Amino acid sequence: MIVNEQIAIDHGLKKDEYIKICELLKRTPNITELGIFSAMWNEHCSYKSSRLHLKKLPTKGKQVIQGPGENAGVVDIGDNDAIVFKIESHNHPSFIEPYQGAATGVGGIMRDVFTMGARPIANLNSIHFGSPQHKKTKNLLRGVVQGIGGYGNCMGVPTIAGQTNFDSSYNGNILVNAMTLGLVKKDKIFYSKATGLNKPVIYVGSKTGRDGIHGASMASASFDENIEEKKPTVQVGDPFTEKLLLEACLELMAGDSIIAIQDMGAAGLTSSSIEMASKGNLGIEINLNKVPCREAKMTPYEIMLSESQERMLIVLENGKEELAKKIFDKWNLDFAVIGKTTKSKKIELFFDDKIVADIPVNTLVENSPMYDRKWKKAKLPKKNKINKEDLNNLKIIEVLKKILSNPNVCSKEWIWQQYDHTVMGDTIQKPGGDSGVVRVHGTNKAVAASIDSSAVYCWAHPLTGGKQVVCESFRNLISVGAKPIAITNCLNFGSPENDENMGEFVECVQGIGEASEYLKFPVVSGNVSFYNQTKKEGIKPTPSIGGVGLIKNYKEMITMEFKEIDNIVLVIGKTEGHIDQSLFARNILDEKNGPPPEINLFNEKNNGETLLKLIENNLIQSAHDVSLGGIITAISKMCIKGNKGINLKKPKFLINEIEYFFAEDQGRYIVEITKKDLKKVTEILNKNAVHFDELGIINKNELYINEKTKVTIDELRRSNTNWLNNYMSK
Amino acid sequence: MKSSVITFPGSNCDRDMDVALKKFGFKNKMVWHNDIELPKSDLVVLPGGFSYGDYLRCGSMASKSKIMKSVINFANGGGMIMGICNGFQILVETGLLPGVLLRNKYLEFICKNVFIKINDEQNRYFKNINNNVLELHIAHNEGNYFCTKDQLKEIEENDQIAINYCDKSGNIGEQFNPNGSINNIAGIFNKKKNILGMMPHPERMIDPYLSGEDGSIFFKNLINNLK
């Protein structure tokens, strides 16, 4: 087949990109070469629209061992231990084929982590679906949950936390973001940089099939009505093989045979071989006849573009082939020497003794396109005037029950009960709390992880929203007593070619950058997913932030359930009564306009660090951050989990009771303390200039506002747990 | 006391079981599925996981592993063998235990705490155990125990039903049955009661910071019984 401009366009390349390829090669590429360029230059692999902005994120810190640019980020947690972690999107495939799409998303991110030598110890996920009333939502939810469980459960890695959100903007484009944490010894971290000449290049894992060809290109385009036809581009997962691959890789990594290792993820053999060569400033020569294939008569084009899962590429030390082969034989995995490193700085592919591709590595990587896309700055919306009389007519208990049963607030137990969250025997905080927590096996340390996003705030004002998500992650870690270390981000947006969507991206990234800089909470890894869009309709901007923190002594971990009758409950942080964009405004008042709550980074840091101080001094019995639904929703969840009630005091401040209880002002936490500690706690809060209000006293089983306004905790629990169970069983 | 835990390709609770056995005083060895000989053991454990991916019927491929010959010999000689979760499925597939394990009634994987009632203490697994009801953890997709009417009659008559799903106080009722198992069966013995297969994972409940601690009661009692 002779390549021309139309074929290039059919591969998702732009006309000027095709011209650039011809200029760089000083000739017309053949079809295999064109396939390689299209795989490397698509949005998913090249970050061509986002690179310019991502560069501005803070990525360094005292505990950062490896920032963005490797398979995953790495942070130091002391005693020669390090945590490797990253988040990745699998949005497009999950919409087309929810089970396999979600499953391979989980498989892919685990591979990124164990490629670096780390044993995965925890999985998390953030999943977003369309309106519950939309005809596809229920099946997509069921398929995605089963896919995530199907892969993670079989691998024997606990799924310890997550987030599920429903919003009509995801009707045509769901989001599936998967995150994995792994544990590694600091001096046994593996990287993807190839070094040394004439080193054997090894292929291990599953055989290569025709599945997933052009997967990364599919994920770099918007959807249209023919999307169902793209099913063959979705990969098929085999968690059993991945489990074997994990054990085999870790066994080989215990020795000193590996120079570099890279998993074959998006764009398969193409991107893995090119990344290793590029990082090492070397060339790679591959004999494609040596690649283990699942199907007969696969062409070089298909072999290079297949996204078959559970495969790895390794550069070995000379003479270690036999030793390595023995290990992979033991685990019944394919092992083949398929090529070697060269000094040519080119990627040279041979098939049937003929050269089928010959491309300088730098043309694929450094010379890949980078765009400074046009973007539109968002204005801060005007505040709504809320009619106080309307508020006074509302019955607070009725409103509370409605909010607790809202799809975005209700208990997600139906989901996380399908995930094995206790395998490995170190899960000390299960899903349903502020963060999931796992112990570092055999030590006193524990690692906390949380995953968050606030699309509504980002949509109302991207800059504020971007900051808010980072702050929420910070708060969720602190609420369990963990010191926040670093974050990973998954940036889900519409089309970068639309200046409004691009503006959302630019300003969310700016917000994320400002907050992570201020909070010393750097970004160590991440992923961008554009084109979450069907025809002209894009999703709400949805950056997901995965945060990781350390608890030095796991016995001092904090949980959110109320513990003891007669203990005192405080809210840390000031309540101004910000109602715009709150769950209350959107769902009870049906008011969708207005600015999101303001972020004051000084208060975030100060409130959070002061709470950590209180926790370190053993003054906190339980804690929970205030988020969707405000103070009273947070308190209700603490009551439900602890099976206790509370006698609430009338708020001292002049704002309306409803505003006080449902406002979503930021930087707040609910804490439970004993009566005898009240004085000490007050002193520390005052000394650090942290605002707090006393909210009430814990009782046996009622949420009590006044004689006429009260409700049993059982009734609140029913509101909170019934919605999802009923929805899924209908 | 010496124990052996067998690792099949796809086992994923083998390490957890090793940790638990050692914590309660066993000298444990890990045994590879391709080995021929079992080391000298007072207890052999088939751990949970997804042996061979469970792509055929759960446990069926593992039941044909090389090591299983010597496991079966060990069983026929009266050796103590415990299969947890996937291990239970493997024991059923070898025919060492009667019945089958079907997909959960609601077709969903279930991971949660359950209560189980101990039915029979005339055996070396539960003899002298002080607690009649334990809170343990389940995590499975195929734990729905089923057998024919004749088999059921036989295992009932021989007191082979080891544990049943129940509530906190030991009441057995359909509402406490997480997976649709016939008569709330969570675990069974062979006739001689040297073999125990059960769905719950005691090894995940061995200290107060995990989902619970009742697994400790089980292991402490077990090692004392074996001494």
pLDDT of residue A392: 84
Q: What is the rounded distance in angstroms from the CA atom of residue A322 to the CA atom of residue A324?
A: 5
What are the pLDDT digits (tens) for A425-445? 999 999 999 999 999 999 999
Report chain A residues whose CB lies below 8 A from the CB of B112.
417
What are the pLDDT digits (tens) for A479-500? 999 999 999 999 999 999 999 9
Chain A interface mutation, best of B54, B109, B114, highest count of A Cβ atoms under 10 Å: B109
pLDDT of residue A220: 66
Q: What is the rounded distance in angstroms from the CA atom of residue A488 to the CA atom of residue A507?
A: 17
pLDDT of residue A228: 64
A229 pLDDT band, cuts 50/70/90, is low
- Check A44, A92, A128, A624 and give the catalytic one: A44
pLDDT of residue A267: 85
Q: What is the rounded distance in angstroms from the CA atom of residue B200 to the CA atom of residue B48?
A: 10
The overall average pLDDT reported for chain B is: 96
Interface touch B50/A425, C-beta < 8 Å: no
Q: Among partner residues A240, A332, A416, which is closest to B50 by beta-carbon distance?
A: A240
Q: What is the rounded distance in angstroms from the CA atom of residue A441 to the CA atom of residue A422?
A: 13
What are the pLDDT digits (tens) for A257-281? 999 999 998 889 999 999 999 999 9
The pLDDT of residue A242 is above 80: yes
Q: In this structure, are residues A39 and A45 in contact, taking their beta carbons and an 8 Å threshold?
A: yes
A654 pLDDT band, cuts 50/70/90, is low
pLDDT of residue A232: 65
Report chain B residues whose CB lies below 8 A from the CB of A331.
9
Q: In this structure, are residues B31 and A174 in contact, taking their beta carbons and an 8 Å threshold?
A: no
B74-100 b/e with 16+ CB inside 10 Å = b?
Answer: bbeeebbbbbbbbbbbbbbbbebbbbb
- Check B85, B135, B147, B166 and give the catalytic one: B85
Q: In this structure, are residues A567 and A621 in contact, taking their beta carbons and an 8 Å threshold?
A: yes
Q: In this structure, are residues A205 and A334 in contact, taking their beta carbons and an 8 Å threshold?
A: yes
Interface touch B10/A243, C-beta < 8 Å: yes
Element (H, E) at A5: helix A5-10
Single-letter amino acid code for the residue at B164: N
User: Cα dihedral sign for B60, B64, B69, B70?
Assistant: negative
pLDDT of residue B98: 97
What CATH number has the domain spanning B2-226? 3.40.50.880
The three-class DSSP label of residue A614 is: helix
- Segment A617-633 mean pLDDT: 97
The pLDDT of residue A587 is above 70: yes
B181 pLDDT band, cuts 50/70/90, is very high
The pLDDT of residue A230 is above 70: no
The conformation of residue A510, written as its DSSP 8-state character, comes to: H
- Domain ranges for chain B: 2-226
| Residues constituting chain A | 730
Q: What is the rounded distance in angstroms from the CA atom of residue A13 to the CA atom of residue A32?
A: 14
Q: In this structure, are residues B129 and B225 in contact, taking their beta carbons and an 8 Å threshold?
A: no
Q: In this structure, are residues A647 and A711 in contact, taking their beta carbons and an 8 Å threshold?
A: no
Interface touch B109/A243, C-beta < 8 Å: no
Of the two residues B204 and A655, the one the predictor is more confident about is B204
Interface touch B16/A331, C-beta < 8 Å: no
A224 pLDDT band, cuts 50/70/90, is confident
pLDDT of residue A8: 93
What are the pLDDT digits (tens) for A517-565? 999 999 999 999 999 999 888 999 999 999 999 999 999 999 999 999 9
Count chain A–chain B contacts defined by CB atoms under 8 A: 85
Report chain B residues whose CB lies below 8 A from the CB of A425.
16, 19-20, 203-204, 206, 210
Q: Among partner residues B9, B111, B210, which is closest to A428 by beta-carbon distance?
A: B210
Q: Which class for A607: exposed (0-12), middle (13-18), buried (19 or more C-beta within 10 A)?
A: buried
Whole-model pTM: value is: 0.96
Give whole-number Cα distances, A177 to A90, A138, A544, A630, in Å: 6, 18, 8, 26
Q: What is the rounded distance in angstroms from the CA atom of residue A275 to the CA atom of residue B68?
A: 45
Token pair for residue B120?
């029979």
- Segment B190-197 mean pLDDT: 97
Chain B interface mutation, best of A251, A423, A721, highest count of B Cβ atoms under 10 Å: A423
What are the pLDDT digits (tens) for B206-227? 999 998 899 999 999 999 999 9
Q: Among partner residues A241, A417, A425, which is closest to B111 by beta-carbon distance?
A: A417
Q: Quick check: is B85 catalytic?
A: yes
pLDDT of residue A218: 61
Interface touch A425/B203, C-beta < 8 Å: yes
Q: In this structure, are residues A300 and A354 in contact, taking their beta carbons and an 8 Å threshold?
A: no
Interface touch B53/A241, C-beta < 8 Å: yes
Report chain B residues whose CB lies below 8 A from the CB of A422.
111, 137, 139, 201, 204, 210-211
pLDDT of residue A385: 86
Q: Among partner residues B49, B137, B141, which is closest to A422 by beta-carbon distance?
A: B137
Residues above pLDDT 70, as percent of chain A: 98
Q: In this structure, are residues A533 and A494 in contact, taking their beta carbons and an 8 Å threshold?
A: yes
